[in-house]
Structure 1
Amino acid sequence: MRDTILYLKNANIYQKNLLILSNVNLKLERGAFSYLIGKTGSGKSSLLKVLYGDLPLLEGEGGVVDIDLVSLKNSEIPILRRKLGIVFQDFQLLTDRTVEKNLIFVLKATGWKDKFAIGERVEEVLDSVGMGTKKHKMPHELSGGEQQRVAIARALLNHPALILADEPTGNLDPETSNEIMILLKNISKKNHCAILMATHDYSMIKNFPAKTIKCEDGKIFHGDSEELFVINE
């Protein structure tokens, strides 16, 4: 039976005391893939930041991976993020170390200590994104698509039940974007991992239809890709 991995109820989302989204009601089930769409400044990133603890949830109710967002303390944010995978548009890889050492750094920072287990997990996630032969490369030696694959591998390290992806194809060409979308869809299905992906790439949404949440005029709307697709955005 599928269960809720993320929910917001009557939530108001603020950024620097400015109300960005009001009366947000949102639920995502384990293993589901959903898009978060809307124009620049519509509140997509603010909503994601609330979900991974970068902004507080001041009004309403909410929870992510069994952690209450309303009562979330600063000291508990690392615990929340260990249960999530987060993928950014600009990859955010550490440029001074290899792919392998990027991933080792994250595992050690999240409490892994056994050297053999660390090495094994790094191999597993790199193989799962087709980057098993590139672990000794530096980030600048990789293409944009390869860097994003490494970023996705990093997001998978701690077996997350939910991945939050903020414009993961925003810096990629159309062909590479398609490859990343296929990868994300396969990960969601194979790992039974929920994915909430913010995007403004409507061609991607049409090519890979899924349930869609739209931010517009300070509200959110739910529907299928076709229902919420607006040609002039």
Structure 2
Amino acid sequence: MATVVIIGDVGGCAGELARVVGPLSGDPGVVVVQVGDLVDRGPDSPGVLRLVGERLAGSAPRWVQLLGNHEAPYVGGEPFWPEPLADADAAVLRRWWLTERLRVAAAVRAADGEEFLVTHAGLTVAAWRELGEPVSAATAAALLNTRPEPLLWDFGGPLWAEASPLYGSWLREWMPFSQIHGHSAIVRYPDRRWACEERIRIRSSVDWEARRTVTRLGGGCFVAVDPKHGRSGAPRWAPLVLEGAELLL
């Protein structure tokens, strides 16, 4: 068992990432899973890549790095962001992808036995069916880590799904495992407003200080961990900490 710390989108905000990662350094009882979108938008994408590179090369805490849609253009996806990374930084991402330092998914079992699939944007019903309807988070993660194309680059896939339609896709389907994702949110954190349909809102709760939402559906729940740092970083936020958890894959 370990403490699993799940960090939402960073978006080039190296200072915000360093503040939560610093206290974890050297702790062999911690596993960090970062959900992708390390780069773009914020002031210091190169600094983020340097920090993560140091953690990937270290022994404690163990660092599991997932692929986000903002990393995707550098490893096979189509360019979309108007401010591309410098060639040297793009080469870092390509090297991580080729050496499998960048993964598509992880699976975690919480202390109470609940299993979570962790991806950048979440797995819709359609994407789950395309994978063959896996019944466990670990199986779903293993299948996603084979890098299935074109699912990986599709706008409804695990790098691009939007939270509200993602949750809506599971309203009439029994979800076989819970999910943790970044990429999008069903609230607007700066003005503390909901940004989703009523049928989603009534199933959801929000921690405004941590910038995290939980939406409960049949069979499980969605936990959204994107703090929406924007260009300058969120004034307050916190990673998701699962004590007594286990990294399954």
Length-normalised TM-score, structure 2: 0.34
Structure with greater helix share of residues: 1
Structure ID, larger Rg: 1
Q: With a CA cutoff of 8 Å and minimum separation of 6, indicate the structure with the bigger relative contact order.
A: 1
Length-normalised TM-score, structure 1: 0.35
